[in-house]
Amino acid sequence: FEQILRNSLTTLPMGGGKGGSDFDPKGKSDNEVMRFCQSFMTELQRHVGADTDVPAGDI
Boundaries of every domain in the chain: 1-45
pLDDT in tens, 3-44: 777 777 877 766 666 778 999 999 999 999 999 999 999 998
Q: 31-48 as b/e, with b when 16 or more CB fall inside 10 Å?
A: eeeeeeeeeeeeeeeeee
Q: Is 3 exposed, middle or buried (0-12, 13-18, 19+ CB in 10 A)?
A: middle
- What amino acid positions are annotated as catalytic residues? 18
Give how far Cα 15 sits from Cα of 4, 8, 19, 36, 41, Å. Answer: 5, 8, 13, 27, 21
**pLDDT for the residue numbered 38:** 96
Is the whole model's pTM more than 0.85, yes or no? no
